[in-house]
Chain A
Amino acid sequence: MAIILFKNRTVRPLTGNFAVSEAMRQINPDVVAAYPITPQTEIMQIFSSFVSNGYVDSELITAESEHSALSACVGAAVSGARAMTATAGPGLALMWEILGIASGMRAPMVLQLVNRALSAPINIHCDHSDAMGARDQGWIQVFAEDAQEAYDHLIQSVKVAEKVYLPVMSCMDGFIVSHAIDRVSLLADEEVREFVGEYKYPYSMLSKTVTHGAIAMTDSYFEFKHQQRLAMDEVKKAVEEVSKEYKELLESQGNLKDWEIEKRVLKFVEPYKIEDAEIVLVAMGSAAGTIKYVIDKLREEGKKVGLLKIKIFRPFPYEEVSKYLENAKILGILDRAETFGGKGGPLLSEIITALYLKGIHKPIRNFIYGLGGRDFNINHVKEVINTLERTLKGENTPFLSYINLRKDYLDTLQK
């Protein structure tokens, strides 16, 4: 039995990667299979030391590629084992074939994605191209703003996955979150173990004779895909149940403030100062934190600015989104991924769909930012808000713009 490290709750200075490793240690999964890739490598390095020291009972499989690592997780999951893996950018790209197999076989598991740009040019830093490339593969996708959320999302994801028999991709921004030390509040080991409980899978290969991965041709494939759509419809209820339980756990010792608890509980969206906001930004991941800071400053100047942070991208919360965006005068959608040739980023498409479904039509601008880890700081948030203000005043502004392109590059476009 795994050694208990934290008998009590504790606050620690941890990088995102370390926080996620601690969550994995406390979850104590049966099987972990992975292949190293920056900026994820550290998670598996830390976790493998937990394995060596007997802090977990997990079987660690060091696969020869990400494709194999995820395949091992699928096999483990349908054998009735709680399986986990972690990867980043190109590693997720190599897993692509197995992503659909995991969700198609309804194998619940959790993948920690440390968001990284896709090549070429080769780049190790953050953007959301990896996750967005996999958005239609039948996985639940959760995005964290900081190390604390990454820790809490991972623990809750385990239960959500096992309720609906779907795999979950829990995402955090590479380097910005994964490699920065932040203040992370951890639960006690026993609390997490009790919360995640025992994994019970009805078709375990180890407990009875079953066929997994059977062929399904024109006569039946279609129905199984329909089942996956129905399963995604169940996610809302599952998230509500799991987050309610997690909230009760967080509240149980009375040592956490209300805002801390609200932040740590898994939700589809997090509105920030949105009630009376005329200008509303929509964003995912670490950028949301920077935007909140700017909103606080601008609110002091009397500007009515708000944010809608999307925490769960798949299944996309269309109803909640349209409800929160209904009253804004203008929207700024921030995408950390491209769709080259599409009208804008992937988040833009979803927001427009959400609005259309409610018959809402209002000014909207799309901003592509932070590809390959390009900094997105206070000034850039202000630039976005300024563009939206000018648009509201009737000025002609582009529908889509890239934020923080280099000046020397822009100069070449003038020629």
Chain B
Amino acid sequence: MWELGAVIPYPGNSEEYKTGNWRTFKPVLHTDKCINCMICFMVCPDSCIIVENGKMIGFDYDHCKGCGLCAYECPKDAIEMIKERG
């Protein structure tokens, strides 16, 4: 950890910092309504939309902070924000 001059000598290390527990509401995908337009992918500030083979398949709950931008922007109301279990 104590590299000279606070250097971080390896890449991609922000992934190690989990922010998933910051959420109050979490996004849930309704695949029946989703048209894979990828608007959620573009607006997510934390790169938490998981895409495989051109299809939106879910969320990276380790890092999603529950901001709700994806749900707000979804043109088909395919993303629902539900309260985290306390």
Contact = CB atoms under 8 A, between A and B. Distances in A.
Interface in B1-31: 1-11, 13
A224 B6 contact: yes
A223 B6 CA distance: 9
A137 to B, nearest CB: 14
Contacts of A211: 7-9, 11, 13
A209 interface: yes
A69 B6 CA distance: 22
Interface in A67-86: 78
B4 A227 contact: yes
A242 interface: no
A208 interface: yes
B31 to A, nearest CB: 36
A213 B5 CA distance: 8
A216 B6 CA distance: 7
Contacts of A78: 5, 7
Interface in A191-231: 202-203, 208-214, 216, 220, 223-224, 227
Contacts of A165: 4-5
A106 interface: yes
A105 interface: yes
Interface SS, A side: loop
Interface size range on B against A: 10 to 19
A224 B8 contact: no
A306 interface: no
Contacts of A227: 2, 4
B11 A203 contact: no
A214 B6 contact: yes
A107 B10 CA distance: 18
Identify which of A104, A107, A165, A211 gathers the most chain B CB atoms within 10 Å of its CB: A211
Nearest to B12: A209
Interface SS, B side: loop
Interface string A99-120: 0000011110000000000000
Nearest to A165: B4
A157 to B, nearest CB: 19
Interface string A165-185: 100000000000000000000
A106 B5 CA distance: 5
A144 B1 CA distance: 39
A224 B4 CA distance: 8
A325 to B, nearest CB: 35
A213 B6 CA distance: 7
A223 B2 contact: yes
B7 A212 contact: yes
A216 B3 CA distance: 12
Contacts of B1: 220
Contact of A224 (B5, B9, B10, B11): B5
Contact of B5 (A208, A209, A212, A220): A212
Nearest to A226: B2
B4 A210 contact: no
A220 B6 contact: yes
B33 to A, nearest CB: 39
Contacts of A202: 4
A279 to B, nearest CB: 45
Contacts of B13: 211
A220 to B, nearest CB: 7
A203 B4 contact: yes
Identify which of B2, B3, B7, B11 gathers the most chain A CB atoms within 10 Å of its CB: B7
Nearest to A208: B9
B10 to A, nearest CB: 7
Nearest to B8: A211
A14 to B, nearest CB: 36
B6 A209 contact: no
B5 A210 contact: no
Contacts of B3: 203
28 contacts: A78-B5, A78-B7, A104-B5, A105-B5, A105-B7, A106-B4, A106-B5, A107-B5, A203-B4, A203-B5, A208-B9, A209-B11, A210-B7, A211-B7, A211-B8, A211-B9, A211-B11, A211-B13, A213-B6, A214-B7, A214-B8, A220-B1, A223-B2, A224-B2, A224-B5, A224-B6, A227-B2, A227-B4
Closest 7 CB pairs of A and B: A106-B5, A209-B11, A211-B8, A105-B5, A106-B4, A203-B7, A210-B9
Given A104-B5, A106-B4, A210-B9, 10 more contacts: A78-B5, A106-B5, A202-B4, A203-B7, A209-B10, A209-B11, A211-B11, A213-B6, A216-B6, A220-B1
